[in-house]
Amino acid sequence: MIGTLLFLAEAHAEVESGFGLKLDILESNLINLAILIGLLFYYGSKVVGNILDQRKTKIAQRIQEVEQQQQQAAATLAEEQQKLAQAQATAKNIIREAEANGQKAKEAILARGQQEVERLKATAAQDLQTEQERAIAELRQRVAALAIKRAESQLREMLNEEAQQKLIDRSISQLGGSR
């Protein structure tokens, strides 16, 4: 293309004056500048357009990826919030059940303790009653032994040999024998 432009410039120069260069810098620079801008616009617009289209496509893809990641993050956040809510509800249920079980255990322990106290009271009362009965029986035996000793000593003092023999004979005859 540049070759074509040079050829046209030479042809134009030959037509006017043959061979030569224009020395008017302002005119020749404007033409050159216009040609350069035209060439840049013609060829550059395609290249720049392609580059911009590629960049636009990449940006659009990146935006789409970011939006997808944002949607995934939002979905994950919602899922995790739901799991957190479920975990909190489960924790509340566990705490409630633990409190209920603790209350039941407390009541059961108190009931067992009360039963144990009642059993110990009953056992203590029974032991006391048994000990009292044993003490009373022992006292009775001692009193009886003392009474027998005293009666024997009084009988010995009051009875002589002959009276003792009569008493023994009378007791034997009452039992069914004779002497």
Per-residue pLDDT, averaged over 160-166, amounts to 76
Q: How many Å apart are CA 78 and CA 72, to the nearest integer? A: 10
Question: Per-residue confidence at 5, pLDDT binned at 50, 70, 90?
Answer: low
Encode pLDDT of 7-18 as tens digits: 665 655 554 554
pTM value is: 0.40
Q: How far is CA 75 from the centre of its chain?
A: 25
Cβ(128)–Cβ(121) below 8 Å: no
Beta-carbon contacts of 172 under 8 Å, excluding residues fewer than 6 positions away, are: 178, 179
The pLDDT, as a whole number, for residue 32 is: 77
The pLDDT, as a whole number, for residue 114 is: 93
Encode pLDDT of 100-153 as tens digits: 999 999 999 999 999 999 999 999 889 889 988 999 999 889 888 888 888 878
Q: How many Å apart are CA 87 and CA 92, to the nearest integer? A: 9
Least confident window among 30-44, 91-105, 134-148: 30-44
Cβ(22)–Cβ(28) below 8 Å: yes
Backbone angles phi, psi at 35, to 5 degrees: -65, -45
